[in-house]
Every structure is written in C-alpha cells, then in structure tokens.
Structure 1
Amino acid sequence: HCHLAVLSVDNCLRVFHEYCQVTVRGPVAFDEHVYEFTEAEPGAGAQGRWLKRVRYPSPDGVQSVELSEVQRYWGSTKLDDLFPQLKSEAVQFKDKMKRWFVYVVLVKMAQAGYLDATNKPTARAKQYTSFACGAMGSVTPGHRLHRPPELPQCCTSSPIPVHLKGQQG
C-alpha cells in the first residue's frame, strides 16, 4: 500500500532540489537558474534582498512562481510564524525565505501533476522534463552542489497540510 508523504517547510527544499536534479537528469545551478532575488535596497543589509521568483523544470517547459503568488498563498502568515525559534540572521533569513517560497512552488507542482503522493517526480515529469528544460541542467564552472541545511531539531515546525483543489479537508 502507498504511504502519502508529508510536505512541510522543513523538507520542502530537499524535495524541490531532488525533483529538479532527477527531472533534468543532472546537477542544477540553483542560484544561477532557479532562484531570482530583488536588488538590495541601499543600507538594508541581508534582509534587503527578497526572493521574487522561482523557476523550475517541468514536462511543460520551465515554469515560474512569482512573489505575489506566494504572498497570496500565505496571506497573513509571516516568516516568524513558520520559524519562531530561529533568529533572523542573514543566512537564516535567506533560508527561511527560500522555504517559505519553495513550499508554495511544490504545492503548485503537485496541483499540476509533476509530483506524486510521495513528493517524488511523476513518471511524466521524469520522462519529458529533461527534453523540455535541458538548459536548466547547465552548471557554471566550479559550482558545487550542496544540500539545503536541515533545521535544528528544536526548531522544526509541524507539517502544514497541502490542500489541493477539489479535496476536502
């Protein structure tokens, strides 16, 4: 029998990075091809740059999710509501922002049929994405892939249920 996988802000970066690498059949330069940030406001420090768009490979070509869609999804939920134990230091802020954004990307991917119930690429995504999005697999020289940092055990939040259109819950 099939086990449904829980999607949460804790595991969303791992799920997303694995999906991208499996579907384009190779390494992905995430900072160059996937995450797009705003320009920093003068004197704003690390929190002056916001993630404004995430692009991802799909069997239907490169898709993107905009900041406005993410803000609409979360509504009044703030980063500190999702990660109350983490201080807003530069690296942690960027990590929290990516998780906040990528969670919504994965919800949209599941709705579009690119992820299965175990948060893995569907057969269609595995079969056709590399043909539709081969360029996303290009890596800049010297780029090293890295796993997203795991949150400390004390800071993990409870899973957030994913409600797909047409589901009761």
Structure 2
Amino acid sequence: MGRYLSILLALLTFGWASPALADVQLSFHSFNGSVLFGRYPHAFIVLEGELESSGEVINENYGFTAKTVSTRILNGPVEHDISIEEPKYIRKTNRHFTITITDAQYREVIALMRAWRDAPGKYYDLDKRNCIHFVGEIAKIIGLRVEYPENMLRRPKKWLNHVTSLNPQLGAEVIN
C-alpha cells in the first residue's frame, strides 16, 4: 500500500493531471444610459475565453441597435445594426451575470447574431425587437427563463435584473 501511495504522490508532485478545459464566458451587460452624454440605455453580451475544440481565443461583444438613432425610432421599425463596444465602454457598464458556455452554444450565439445582423429590411423596433429582445434570445440559447414585461422593454438594467430573479440557479445578485 505504501508503494502505491508513493507513486500517487510522485505523479501529483510532477504535475500529472488532466489538462484544463478551455471555455467561453458569456456575460450579460446593461448600460444605464444618459441623454446628456448621447448614450441611451442598452443591453448587450460579452464573450471571452477560448474554444475547447480549436483553442481559438474569443473576445467579442454584441448588441442590437438602430442603425441611426433618431425620433423615427418612436414611429415603428427602422434599419438595424449590431453594435460592438470598446473595452473602455464595457468597463462602465453593469455586468449582471456570467455563464460558461460550450463551443456549440457559442456557435448558436454567433449564428443568432448574424441572423439578426443580416436580416433584410427594417427590424429594429423599440417595443418589439430591440436590444433586450436580442439579449433575451441569447439567454434562451443557454437555457435561461426569459420574459419581456411591457414596463421593462426600454429599461435594460431593470429587465436584466428581472431575468436574474427568474433564474436563481445563476447565483447572481440584482444590481441596484
């Protein structure tokens, strides 16, 4: 028995262990917004990490927005775009929760982003298809419960706090 214990200790000492698995972290963010500084409330996602299958490093973020911000947004669908935020902007936002996702889920998120980005016509609608709906569809990909209460459709922080409360398994705190 002592011999086997010595071999086990030697293996552990010399670093015999399985390699660490790569993973991608999916974070859900909101920005409070400020009319004075030209940024409206917004919800978006951040993807960081490494794909297990290829080792590819991932550092991406996506939000759904109107191509041009104007009062036309108040009157129905307008042209849409996918926004990509600068790191300095991301640091000033609220990170509500982060989940490790699989390579397959990462590919689903990217496919959804491309489908929303490449949809023909005018698909940004402040009340029916905005940044909240985009982030909600991504949350559904990873199995989260999502609702869209009417009084939250223009309030990303409040909405992501609501999603947090719908999914206690996240162990996330509501952000004040």
Q: What TM-score comes out, normalization by structure 2 length?
A: 0.25
Give the number of the structure with larger relative contact order, counting CA–CA contacts within 8 Å between residues 6 or more apart.
Answer: 1
The structure having more radius of gyration, on CA atoms, is 2
Higher strand share: 2
